[in-house]
Structure 1
Amino acid sequence: MYRVMIIDDEESARKLMRAAIDYKSLDMEVVGEAASGIEAINIIDDLKPDIAFVDISMPFMNGIEFTETATERYPNLIIIIMTALDQFEYARKCVSLPVFDYMLKPMVRAEVTKVLERAKEKLDNMLPSASDFDEEFSGDDADFAVGEADSTELIKKYVHDNITDPKLNLAFVAQNFGFSASYLSRKFKQDTGKNFAKYLTDLRMKKAIKYAGLGYKMYQTAAEVGIPDPNYFGRCFKKYVGMSYSDYVLEKCQKSS
């Protein structure tokens, strides 16, 4: 079953895209959604979509910027750009990007279904081994097997040094070190006992707690830890700490006074 991701900053649009299409009949399922390109970059390694609907107009990282980043790391990912009429020509000018199709909002169910049928045909014709998300051990990965502990420490240092980069994720690091994302994922968990995405989020949240303790405003802290989308940052912080950022800062101030 092919995996679909919906990336749009409008919750109503995401809900409509989930409810209006009979994905099951197309041998597809919606595996997740994101409210910004930043959030999508942070969760795409875990979701492993085959198809992504991407709104062109989003804060902090728009659809074009997301597409540039995503297609560089996941060349087999099928991107379907969603755009309003007044942005359509702007979207079409980005012809250098490997976009599967452009669709006008509001979306029409029959048109979306036709595009997905074509996407399914393309995916059906792809060799299973071509999947960028499920890439197996390759010759390039063999270098990582030599001195594994040292390599893992280098990777952890690289993550620490680049923590402020919002494009940092598993595929970003794997690409930088020259081996597959799937291999890095397996080896990182084997060597550290942690999932890479969780390790990265935990590291960011630990730093965020330090900035919060210093009284930084949320948008300042969010930028300092590489999650400039304050809404997504706020959800990550609350999940990690158990309270909102503002409540945490207030509690710290009360304890210190």
Structure 2
Amino acid sequence: MCKVMIIDDERAIRNLLKITLEKENSELIVVGEAASGIEAINTIDNYKPDVAFVDIRMPFMDGIEFSKLAIKRYPRLKIIILTAFNDFEYARKCVGIGVFEYLLKPISREEIHETLTRVIDQIKSEQPDREEEIVQDDSNHTILQIKEYINNNFQDAEINLTSIAQQFGFNSSYLSRVFKLKTGIGLIEYLTQCRMEKAIICAQKGVLMYVTAKEVGIPDPNYFGKCFKKYTGLVYSEYINKTGETKD
């Protein structure tokens, strides 16, 4: 999934562009917006976009200045400058900063389609290199981020390998391999471990199984029961009884 950030000081344009982009390509999702270059540079770390649509004329920090800073921080970021006719030559003079494309307002649907096709193709072609990066210097930091994300979100029943991979911009099978290589445990196994450790705490308090199952993100009591027994060696009710006997 290609993550996009839209940076424009006009809300109407941001909304229209978001609708157009997500309709145009199912491989694309708008993850963040900003109304100025300053807001964007302060929030881009939260979104980690693959592509940024940036208006050239914005208050406080224009699109060119933002692009220089953003590309320095994220060399693989694909920036598409949105420019009015009067600014077009000015924008073209800044081609050396590494902007992917310049689009002249008003932008036609054909231009958006063609640009998106090219940018997504380029991102896909760079994916092997992107994946190699995770096993170099940045790998430990990335894995720590993923573990923290799981620790904070395991109670969500919708979280899984695919959603986590999309969140961090990786292929799911690749992320699974690297996570196990770096941690010695599979990603799904780690997710289950987080859920079961929380379940044990609930069992020690005597919480009913179906309540605990929902609490840890496994709303199906039967499946939860299987996971709990595999992890602890005891069925849930036996664990509660054992805990009660220990306390006595």
TM range (shorter): 0.5 to 0.7
**SS of corresponding position for 1:103:** strand
CA contact (8 A) 1:26 1:117 kept: no
Partner of 2:103: 103
Partner of 1:207: none
Query: For residues 231-242 of structure 1, what are the structure 2 equivalents within 5 Å?
Result: none
The 1:116/1:129 distance shift into structure 2, 3 A limit, reads same
Query: For residues 83-232 of structure 1, what are the structure 2 equivalents within 5 Å?
Result: 83-130=83-130, 135-136=133-134, 138-139=136-137, 180=138, 183=141, 186=144
Partner amino acid, structure 1, of 2:15: K
Count of residues in correspondence between the two structures = 149
Deviation at 1:114, TM superposition (A): 0.9
Question: TM-score normalised to the size of structure 2?
Answer: 0.54
* Range moving further from structure 2, 87-96 or 24-33: 24-33
**SS of corresponding position for 1:126:** helix
- Cα distance in 1 for partners of 2:143, 2:92 equals 35
Q: Percent identity?
A: 49
Q: Which has the larger radius of gyration?
A: 2
- Cα distance in 1 for partners of 2:20, 2:97 equals 28
Deviation at 1:6, TM superposition (A): 0.4
**SS of corresponding position for 1:107:** coil
- Cα distance in 2 for partners of 1:126, 1:37 equals 26
Q: Which runs of 5+ in 1 are unaligned?
A: 140-179, 191-257
**SS of corresponding position for 1:96:** helix
Deviation at 1:182, TM superposition (A): 7.7
Partner of 1:232: none
**SS of corresponding position for 2:16:** helix
CA contact (8 A) 2:79 2:101 kept: yes
Query: Using CA pairs below 8 Å that are at least 6 residues apart, which structure has the higher relative contact order?
Result: 1
**SS of corresponding position for 1:127:** helix
- Cα distance in 2 for partners of 1:35, 1:85 equals 21
- Superposed CA deviations along residues 141-183 of structure 1, whole A, max 9, x for unmatched, are xxxxxxxxxxxxxxxxxxxxxxxxxxxxxxxxxxxxxxx4982
The 1:21/1:138 distance shift into structure 2, 3 A limit, reads closer
CA contact (8 A) 2:21 2:28 kept: no
Deviation at 1:137, TM superposition (A): 5.8
Partner of 2:184: none
Q: Which runs of 5+ in 2 are unaligned?
A: 149-248
- Cα distance in 2 for partners of 1:85, 1:97 equals 20
Partner amino acid, structure 1, of 2:46: D
- Cα distance in 2 for partners of 1:42, 1:181 equals 24
CA contact (8 A) 1:135 1:182 kept: no
CA contact (8 A) 1:7 1:54 kept: yes
Partner of 1:48: 48
Partner of 1:20: 20
Partner of 1:170: none
Partner of 1:60: 60
CA contact (8 A) 2:4 2:30 kept: yes
Deviation at 1:136, TM superposition (A): 2.8
- Cα distance in 1 for partners of 2:93, 2:24 equals 33
Partner amino acid, structure 2, of 1:183: H
- Cα distance in 2 for partners of 1:185, 1:42 equals 23
**SS of corresponding position for 1:32:** strand
Deviation at 1:26, TM superposition (A): 4.2
- Superposed CA deviations along residues 107-133 of structure 1, whole A, max 9, x for unmatched, are 2122111100110110111134427xx
Partner of 1:249: none
CA contact (8 A) 1:21 1:109 kept: no
The 1:105/1:40 distance shift into structure 2, 3 A limit, reads same
**SS of corresponding position for 1:112:** helix
The 1:135/1:183 distance shift into structure 2, 3 A limit, reads farther
Partner amino acid, structure 2, of 1:27: E
